[in-house]
A and B are shown apart, each in its own frame.
Chain A
Amino acid sequence: MATITYHAVDVGETLPPHESRPITRHVLALYCGASGDHNPIHVDIDFARKAGMPDVFAHGMLSMAYLAQLLTGWVPQDQIRQWGVRFIAITPVHAKVLCTGRVVEKFEADGERRVRLAIDAHTDGGIHTLSGDAIIALP
Chain B
Amino acid sequence: MLDRSFIGLETEPRSVAVEASQLRFFARATGENNPIYFDEAAARAAGHAALPAPPTFLFCLASLAPEAENVMARLGVDMGRVLHGEQSFTYGERICAGDTITLTTRISDIYDKRGGALDFIVQDTEATNQNGQSVGLTRTVIVVRNG
Contact = CB atoms under 8 A, between A and B. Distances in A.
A33 interface: yes
Contacts of B64: 36
B141 to A, nearest CB: 8
A124 to B, nearest CB: 15
B68 interface: no
A36 B57 CA distance: 10
A14 interface: no
Interface stretch (A2-10, A75-83, A108-116): A75-83
Interface in B60-91: 60-61, 63-64, 78-91
Interface in A6-61: 20-21, 27, 30-31, 33-41, 47-48, 50-52, 59-61
Contacts of B88: 82-85, 132
Contacts of A64: 56, 59, 87
A36 B29 contact: no
A72 B87 contact: no
Nearest to B26: A34
B83 A87 contact: yes
A87 B30 contact: no
Given A35-B63, A36-B64, A41-B80, A86 B25 contact: no
Given A41-B79, A52-B80, A72-B34, 4 more contacts: A34-B26, A60-B83, A64-B59, A86-B85
Interface of B: 22, 25-26, 28-32, 34, 46, 52, 54-56, 59-61, 63-64, 78-91, 94, 139
29 contacts: A27-B31, A34-B30, A35-B59, A35-B60, A39-B82, A41-B80, A50-B80, A51-B78, A51-B80, A51-B81, A52-B80, A61-B87, A64-B87, A65-B26, A66-B30, A66-B31, A68-B55, A69-B30, A69-B54, A72-B34, A72-B54, A72-B55, A73-B34, A82-B91, A86-B85, A86-B86, A87-B84, A90-B83, A132-B88
Q: Sort A-B residue pairs by CB-CB distance and give the 10 closest, nearest first.
A: A84-B88, A51-B80, A36-B63, A36-B64, A30-B29, A34-B29, A68-B55, A60-B84, A34-B26, A34-B25
